[in-house]
């Protein structure tokens, strides 16, 4: 989650980064 938050903070308008980190979040949640 920290990585996702960091990426979002670094580039809030970067959709590709969020999309790429989204699967990771799902994996962590699982």
pLDDT computed for residue 4 by the predictor: 58
User: What's residue 28's pLDDT?
Assistant: 67
Block residue for tokens 């590709």: 16
CA torsion 19→25→8→15, rounded to 10°? 10
* pLDDT recorded at residue 16: 56
Report the alpha-carbon distance of residue 26 to residue 23 in Å, rounded.
5
User: What token pair was written down for 24?
Assistant: 């990771």
Q: What is the pLDDT of residue 3?
A: 62
Cα atoms in the Cβ-side hemisphere of radius 13 Å centred on 10: 10
Tens digit of each residue's pLDDT, the chain (30 residues): 566 566 556 655 555 555 666 776 666 665
Domain residues for the domain of 28 are 1-30
Number of domains in the chain: 1
């Amino acid at each position: 989650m920290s990585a996702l938050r960091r990426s979002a903070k670094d580039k809030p308008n970067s959709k590709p980064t969020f999309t790429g980190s989204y699967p990771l979040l799902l994996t962590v949640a699982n």
